[in-house]
Structure 1
Amino acid sequence: MDSFPELRNYYLSEMNSDLTLVVEGHRLPAHRFVLAAKSPVFNAMFYGDLMESTAREVDIREAPVDAFRVMLRYIYSERFEMDNDKDFQQAIQVFKLGHRYQLHRLVQYIEQYLITMLKKHNYIRLSDTITSASYDDFLRSRRFDNSLLSVIDNIATIYEFAVLYELTELVNACQRFIAKNSKLIVKKKSYLTESFDTMESILGLMQTNPAVIVQALQKIRDQHPGADMSQFERLVNFDTCSVDDIQSVRTIRLFSDDKLFDVLIAKYKTLQLEMNKVVKDRRA
């Protein structure tokens, strides 16, 4: 609820404006007392010993202008509103600005907004046989909520952001979402990032069969052909891998040929013991 609802009328208004904020070349009229009342950082800028305290025009650096407008709207109205409620990238940008200017209630709103978007969707039952190329048709045919697809497209970014800012509740919500939507995340390749630690963590959360994990590792190898992928070794459970899965692992060159040979020999011996047991039972 707005503390001073009349302040909304002053958002981006020239009326009684005593300050212009320049963000990415855009000139945004503002009011020192409003900004200072909501943000300790703005208060120090405009009523402290900093040069901004007497400046009529202040350049705001490293701030996307659309995200900055959303933050300003919140300052004047105490409402977190975006033009596109499925723009998770912008929501994260606004969070970072809120964190930068110590708008604690705003960052709490955004964390809860992201958690709500993760929790509101049921997972998609995706067939193992569907191809990456046809997944768009598959989804359209079932008329899934576009916000679910947007979450899937951005899950790596959201998860990485939640870990970076130590947002425990959001991290937990991401982990549950990843576990439930493993197959589609792999089909969409939305786990791919520049961070090996993030990709390893996401794949480690997936509750799916070995073939899907191997497929994901192959995509990582394709994206980073010369990189050391040894940290992903823990993700391959040879006890549940088929011979075909092991052959696929070999193409990734995640393990040495000697290691894979030993795995195949062990599987052959296990299979031979099982066959001998079946034969013995039939003769009994």
Structure 2
Amino acid sequence: MENACTNLNQVARAVRLLKIDGFSLTAGMGGDYCLKSIWTVDGYELEVLIYPGTTWVALKLVFLSEARTQWGVRASMACQLVDLSRELEPYHEYGVSETFYHPQDFGALVFMDRNKIPSGYIKDDMLTLRCAITVLKELPAPTIPAEEVITQPSTNLHQHLGELLQSEMGADVTFLVSYESFAAHKYILAARSPVFKAQFFGDMKEKCSARVEIKDMEVAAFRAMLHFIYTDTVPELDRPLEEVTTLAQHLLVAADMYGLERLKLICEIKLCDGITVDTAATTLALAEQHNCSKLKAKCVEFIVSTPAVLEAVLATDGYKHLEASCPLVLTELLARTFFSLLLRVLFRQRANLVFVLMPYPGI
């Protein structure tokens, strides 16, 4: 008789090491102070909140999504202390499990008395927790197998339009960019860009023109923008960021100029991933001028991250450009710098600060 094994359910699991640096400084921070970590498991977004400031180190697992079924989502979180040097074995596992239905549903876990945490697990004032989140996956509904399954083919519209651009067949407008010409189709351009729509089918002078000169734009940026209009892709940005930073900056300007919001967001995301000392100020000026709030916030966060980084950025030519082109953003940068330095001073001196409430005369 042959033995058979059937898997009746499936789970998705994610494991992370969560490090609390400066653990001693979190003592007495109060019950509202918490550290946050966002997770994605089986397509669901969850958040782990760690409350280290009270007598007990506590954790909370918060559900940030909407359950895909009426029965909710069964999820659990397990947590234990670990020693990164591996001199000590992981210390006692604590866990909590809940069924989640809607955003902000949560399960709470009281981890342990912070005063009873073995000192061996605190290295260089850093406490490390290994957390695992497990989600019970929904089983697919049973289906009756068919003799032949016909799958829907993937779209190839972008490929055909890209070939049309390359072949120049039926092109009715030519762009001249720095003495290089590009043939295109007015109807496709108008369908993708509100600026081109107004330019060719509104009251602008290029309405009947078959030749348009583009000024103040790099050839590489215009070529990439034109390819995106036809194919909705930007293969030029698939290379490492250090090779395409300048192109991404120019392409963001072009996208903003022609109302291509998706291309603008693609460039913004690409630039957010690789901000350096050499590019931070230039990119910040770009973000300010073209209303890229996420990119602006990332640049400011990087510049004020440490005094050394701030000093290095201030010495770049990009900062001189920022100072000349966007003087108003310097006020915000100065405020963030002062606030960041103030926080560092407060945390360093926290152990020595004593607050005394003096009685007011006459009371």
Per the normalisation by structure 2, the TM-score is 0.43
Is 1:58 aligned to residue 212 of structure 2?
yes
1:63, distance to aligned residue in structure 2 (A): 1.9
User: Identity, % of aligned pairs?
Assistant: 27
Is 1:167 aligned to residue 292 of structure 2?
yes
**Distance in 1, Cα, partners of 2:205 & 2:294:** 39
In 2, are the aligned partners of 1:180 and 1:207 still within 8 Å (CA)? no
**Distance in 2, Cα, partners of 1:91 & 1:16:** 30
Structure 1 residues 155, 58: CA separation in 2 closer, same or farther (over 3 Å shift)?
same
Q: Which residue of 1 aligns with 2:90?
A: none
In 1, are the aligned partners of 2:277 and 2:312 still within 8 Å (CA)? no
**Distance in 2, Cα, partners of 1:39 & 1:33:** 10
1:78, distance to aligned residue in structure 2 (A): 0.5
SS of residue in 2 equivalent to 1:15? coil
Structure 1 residues 209, 164: CA separation in 2 closer, same or farther (over 3 Å shift)?
closer
**Distance in 2, Cα, partners of 1:170 & 1:199:** 16
**Distance in 2, Cα, partners of 1:115 & 1:77:** 24
Give unmatched runs, 5+ long, in structure 2.
Answer: 1-154, 346-363
1:193, distance to aligned residue in structure 2 (A): 1.3
Is 1:193 aligned to residue 350 of structure 2?
no
Q: Which residue of 2 aligns with 1:103?
A: 260
**Distance in 1, Cα, partners of 2:340 & 2:202:** 59
Of residues 2, 16, 20, the one that matches 2:174 is: 20
Per the normalisation by structure 1, the TM-score is 0.54
In 2, are the aligned partners of 1:20 and 1:27 still within 8 Å (CA)? yes
**Distance in 2, Cα, partners of 1:12 & 1:19:** 14
1:209, distance to aligned residue in structure 2 (A): 11
Q: Which residue of 2 aligns with 1:155?
A: 280
More strand as a share of residues: 2
**Distance in 1, Cα, partners of 2:306 & 2:224:** 31
Query: Which sits farther off after the overlay, 188-197 or 199-208?
Result: 199-208
Q: Which residue of 2 aligns with 1:10?
A: 164
Q: How does 1:48-87 map to 2 (within 5 A)?
A: 48-82=202-236, 85-86=241-242, 87=244
In 2, are the aligned partners of 1:12 and 1:30 still within 8 Å (CA)? no
1:14, distance to aligned residue in structure 2 (A): 2.4
Q: Deviations over 1:92-115 (max 9, x none)?
A: 221121111111111121112222
1:20, distance to aligned residue in structure 2 (A): 1.0
| Matched residue type, 1:55 | S
Q: Which residue of 2 aligns with 1:37?
A: 191
1:176, distance to aligned residue in structure 2 (A): 1.8
Structure 1 residues 58, 184: CA separation in 2 closer, same or farther (over 3 Å shift)?
same
Q: Which residue of 2 aligns with 1:183?
A: 308
Structure 1 residues 40, 152: CA separation in 2 closer, same or farther (over 3 Å shift)?
same
RMSD: 3.2
In 1, are the aligned partners of 2:177 and 2:217 still within 8 Å (CA)? yes
**Distance in 2, Cα, partners of 1:63 & 1:20:** 15
1:154, distance to aligned residue in structure 2 (A): 0.9
Of residues 273, 283, 295, the one that matches 1:116 is: 273
**Distance in 2, Cα, partners of 1:162 & 1:209:** 21
**Distance in 2, Cα, partners of 1:44 & 1:103:** 14
In 2, are the aligned partners of 1:178 and 1:205 still within 8 Å (CA)? no
Q: Deviations over 1:215-244 (max 9, x none)?
A: xxxxxxxxxxxxxxxxxxxx9xxx9xxxxx
**Distance in 1, Cα, partners of 2:301 & 2:232:** 30
More helix as a share of residues: 1
**Distance in 1, Cα, partners of 2:264 & 2:256:** 7
Q: Which residue of 1 aligns with 2:248?
A: 91
